[in-house]
A = this chain, B = another copy of it.
Amino acid sequence: MKNSDFYTFRGYRIKDEKLLSPSMEDYIEMIYRLSIEKDIVRVNNLSEALNVQPPSITKMIKRLSNDGFVNYEKYGSIKLTEKGIEKGKFFLFRHETIYEFLELIGVKENLLEQTEKMEHAIYEETLEKISNLIIFLKNNIDFNS
Contacts and interface: CB of A to CB of B under 8 A. Distances in A.
Copies in the complex: 2
A12 B107 contact: no
Given A23-B8, A30-B3, A49-B3, A102 B116 contact: no
Interface class of chain A by DSSP = helix
A127 B109 CA distance: 12
A74 interface: no
Interface residues of A, number: 50
The 3 closest A-B pairs by CB, nearest first: A9-B22, A3-B49, A117-B121
15 contacts: A1-B112, A3-B30, A3-B33, A4-B49, A6-B26, A9-B23, A10-B22, A12-B116, A12-B117, A109-B123, A109-B125, A118-B122, A133-B144, A136-B143, A140-B143
